[in-house]
Structure formats: C-alpha cells, structure tokens
A and B are shown apart, each in its own frame.
Chain A
Amino acid sequence: AQTIHQWPVAEIKAVGSPLSLGCTIKGKSSPNLYWYWQATGGTLQQLFYSITVGQVESVVQLNLSASRPKDDQFILSTEKLLLSHSGFYLCAWSGGARNYAEQFFGPGTRLTVL
C-alpha cells in the first residue's frame, strides 16, 4: 500500500525567514507529485507539479519554489516568508498513467507566519 508523509506537521515562522516543507511517498514508483496551498476554510490552489525527478512545473506564482530531488520526495521552499504564506500546505500524488488519475493527498502541514 502507498503511504504519503508530510513534514513538519506544523510550523510557526517569522516574516522574512526561510521555509522548507517536505513530502515523501512510499510504495509507488514514479508518481506524479503535486503541492497545494489552502487558506483556512478556503479552496485549494495548486502550486506545482512534477512528473519526474528534477523536473517541476509551476502552476501559480506565490514567491515559492519546489524541487524533486528523488523519485519519492517533493520539497517546497522559500527564502523569505510573507504573511500571506500562512495556511495549510498539502502534498498529493497520482499514478500518472491515465489522464484522469485520482490524486491522493497527504495529511498536510499547517504554517503560521507571524
């Protein structure tokens, strides 16, 4: 069975500080990977996706960047946090083989920027 793990579970950071969030998928080779941001009680906004190691596509610019250093790992980062970065960050994966593949979401990371 596939499992998806996100770290950390929650973070409280200062404006202007750097950030790194991680996501690991086990039990699935060559998954498509995704990052989403969600304001409290709001909709999900897709940020990035990656279909292979080393390649990341940006969907929306929010002063964030993403990298895929390994087949099973996806990293979201920024050098300078803004207040607007607060929210819930979700990583997801899909099988990628079909053009209608379901996305499976992780438990999320709650980020508070002060």
Chain B
Amino acid sequence: QQKVQQSPESLSVPEGGMASLNCTSSDRNFQYFWWYRQHSGEGPKALMSIFSDGDKKEGRFTAHLNKASLHVSLHIRDSQPSDSALYFCAVSESNYNVLYFGSGTKLTVEP
C-alpha cells in the first residue's frame, strides 16, 4: 500500500512557466515532509523540507503544507530546462530514519 501519492504523474511546462506538483499522504503520523529531485542516472537530491503549516520559499521553489489535509505541494516559478527531472515527495514519522517516498512526478520543461 502506497503511503504517499503524487500528482500529476507527468507534467510539461514551457521555459519560464510555473510548475505545480502535489503530494498527499495517508498516514496522520507523518510529521516531516521533503521534496527531492532526481536527474536521470543520478541519485536524488533534497530540494527543501517543510515541517510547519503554511508556505516556505527557497529561491524559485515554494512549498506549501497543510497538515490537516495531509497535503504538500511544490511550485516552481520561472522553470528552466535544467529543472526537467523526477520529483519526489518524501515523508517520515517520529522515526526519522524511515523515509517514505511518493510515486514521483516527471517534469519536463520545454525550451
């Protein structure tokens, strides 16, 4: 049973556009939320974390968390071709050593 669902499965945006990715979890024990990005053939790299309700902005990336609905989103403004990658939402419970990854969203930014 997948504990973390992401949507859409794939997304295509023009260069300079806004990309919006969604993530919903099914377990109210989840406390810590991350967004990771993985370019083809490489290991994932953390983009940002969010642990409190509301928005968190880091450069062109903004994450929004609503713990009541177990929903976290990632918005990428001014998308660049280098942003083309697999994006994963990852969540953990109180045992932070166990990380559950979502199903992933494949983002393509077209020049």
Interface residues of A (CB under 8 A from B): 32, 34, 41-46, 49, 51, 57, 59, 90, 92, 94, 99-108
Contacts and interface: CB of A to CB of B under 8 A. Distances in A.
Contact of B101 (A32, A44, A108): A44
Interface string B78-102: 0000000010101010101111111
A92 B99 CA distance: 11
Given A44-B44, A106-B43, A107-B43, A34 B97 contact: yes
B45 interface: yes
A102 to B, nearest CB: 5
B30 interface: no
A103 B42 contact: no
Nearest to A99: B96
Given A42-B104, A49-B98, A103-B46, 9 more contacts: A34-B97, A41-B86, A49-B97, A57-B97, A59-B98, A100-B32, A102-B46, A102-B49, A105-B45
A71 B49 CA distance: 27
Contacts, number: 55
A102 B44 CA distance: 11
A42 B2 CA distance: 12
Nearest to A60: B98
A75 to B, nearest CB: 18
B88 A92 contact: no
Contacts of B103: 43
A51 B97 contact: yes
A112 B90 CA distance: 26
B51 to A, nearest CB: 6
A43 B104 CA distance: 6
A105 B102 CA distance: 17
A46 B98 contact: yes
A92 B42 CA distance: 12
Contacts of B34: 102
A44 B41 CA distance: 14
